[in-house]
Amino acid sequence: MKITLTVNGRAYPLDVEPRRILADVLREDCRLTGTHLGCEHGVCGACTVLVDGEAVRSCLMLAVQCDGSSVRTVEGLAGPDGEPHPLQRAFSAEHALQCGFCTPGFLMVAAGALEADPTIGDDPERVHGLVESNICRCTGYEPIRRAIMRAAR
Amino acid sequence: MKPAGFDYAVPRTVPETLDALADTARDIKVLAGGQSLILEMHLQRIQPDLVVDINRVTELDRLSVNDGTVEVGALIRHGAFESPQAVPGPLGTLFSRAVVNIAHPPIRVRGTMVGSLAWAHPASEWCAIATALDADILLQGPDGTRQVPASDWFRGPLRTARRPGELITSVRFPLLGADSGVGFIEHRRTHFCFAQVAVAAALTVRGRVIDEARIGLVNCADRPVRAHAAAQALTGADVGSLGTDHRLPDGHPFLRAGRIAAEQDAAPLAEPYADLEYRRHAIAVLVGRTLRQAAEGVPQ
């Protein structure tokens, strides 16, 4: 099936089987391997990307469902000159990553929430809810929570 | 694993959807949020011949309030109910208390309330509320439209009264009056688990006397259960003192109702981490707590 995905502002005309999930198409057809796949059933959140501005699990969406949609992945966070996104700077400053496998998912879930509502940092419970969305086996979550609060300032 | 191959249809209207669902010789699945369906397709426990994606049927993306009811279209996502103002009155509060228990924000922006009723997972939060309030499930199919009350909808784990070729277009709940209080509490082993027990309750209280109690239980039997025996025991009971700490006073009607719900209304199944004695105990405790939460919300 022929579809067009706009990923990080660039149009990708693609021909994909309906059974292929968004995450695989981003990684294999668009060659954007920043999006990671962990559990492939919606639990771990490593594959979280923004579809039309909303953070979703790219393992639980078919690529054909996103025909005509605008997708943003972790590769789309940094500025055109390579300047890291405020969230990326905050993750670095707060040591919010160790092995880094889950980091793209946490960055995108936080980016979606911050762009939808920049005041989220005023509500620690909502930040807590975001951090609960994904699994990290290294950091113990507290540095991630601090990084999101820092970026929201 | 990855989903097995399937044909894919993207209708734009309800009649086009019904056309796509018409070939009942094929195994056809309706795709709304997909947060359960696509996961099961990954595991290849479900391998449909055809997936009918209703996400572009805009007429299903509608939430409307009329005549003391709220009708939730098949494309309304869980996340729509995070604000208690999404639905008027205490029902909005009940929805907002339940929705935070459903997975996580990125799941809640995709998954739908109607999808949960279609899926009929024994631990589903929306199924608890639909059962407590006896919501009506509205369907369209080859023989026209029909509605099924929640009391007749659930037929077992992941089984419903939906017939082949039918599409659930919406679910309709009765709104709750300002004199109602609502409660929703669930117990999970860990944050990522399904509910071991979940309880939804709506209480109408006049003076301090209970006029009506509506209680829905999930994961307390092979399907959602309405706790009629417990509700009957509460009708006419005095709410009395709820106690000053987190425990209800000994002999309180809510404690008695909890025990009745656990012994008479529920039919729990043993699980590896919860034998029957434990499950009945958990049901009794949670029903008591949920009724207490509901009573605290009744305007004085």
- Give residue-wise pLDDT tens across range B99-130: 999 999 999 999 999 999 999 999 999 999 99
Nearest CB among A17, A19, A132 relative to B191 is that of: A132
Second CATH level (architecture) for the domain A2-73:
Roll (3.10)
Q: According to CATH, where is 3.10.20.30 located in chain A?
A: 2-73
DSSP annotation of B77 reads B
Q: Which residues of B touch A43 (CB under 8 A)?
A: 192
CATH number at residue B238: 3.30.390.50
Task: Report the share of chain B in percent with pLDDT over 90.
Answer: 91
**Taking the model in full, what pTM does it have?**
0.96
C-alpha B276/C-alpha B176 separation (Å) is 34
Nearest CB among A1, A42, A62 relative to B107 is that of: A42
Give the pLDDT score at A48. Answer: 98
Q: Which helix (H) or strand (E) holds B113?
A: helix B113-119
CATH number of A86-152: 1.10.150.120
Confidence band for B190, pLDDT divided at 50, 70 and 90: confident
**Domain span including residue B287:** 180-296
DSSP annotation of B168 reads E
Can you read off the two tokens belonging to residue A77? 């966070």
**Is B115 in the same domain as B163?**
yes
Backbone phi and psi for residue A49, each to the nearest 5 degrees, phi listed first: -135, 170
Confidence band for B273, pLDDT divided at 50, 70 and 90: confident
Residues of B at the A interface, defined by Cβ within 8 angstroms:
1-8, 10, 31, 34-35, 38-39, 41-43, 51, 53, 55, 100, 103-107, 109-110, 191-192
Mutate to test the interface with A, among B53, B110, B121 (most CBs of A within 10 A): B110
Decide if A113 and B8 are in contact by the 8 Å CB cutoff: no
Residue type, B32: A
**Is B69 in the same domain as B156?**
yes
CATH number at residue B27: 3.30.43.10
Give the pLDDT score at B71. Answer: 98
Res. B193: pLDDT tops 90: no
**Is B125 in the same domain as B165?**
yes
**Is B155 in the same domain as B78?**
yes
Res. B244: pLDDT tops 80: no
**Is B170 in the same domain as B195?**
no
How many domains would you assign to chain B?
A: 3
Asked if the structure places residue B1 within a domain, the reply is no
Q: What is the number of other CB atoms lying within 10 angstroms of the CB of residue B192?
A: 12
Beta strand segments in A34-86, E: 48-51, 54-57, 70-72
Q: According to CATH, where is 1.10.150.120 located in chain A?
A: 86-152
B255 torsion bin: left (phi>0), alpha (psi -120 to 50), beta (else) = alpha
Give the residue ranges of chain A where pLDDT is below 70: none
Q: Would the ipTM clear 0.85, i.e. be above it?
A: yes
The gap between the terminal CA atoms of chain B, to the nearest Å, is 56
CATH number at residue B159: 3.30.465.10
**Is B108 in the same domain as B194?**
no
Q: Max alpha carbon distance in chain B (Å)?
A: 61
**Residue B84 and residue B93 in contact, taking contact as beta carbons nearer than 8 Å:** yes
Asked if the structure places residue B2 within a domain, the reply is no
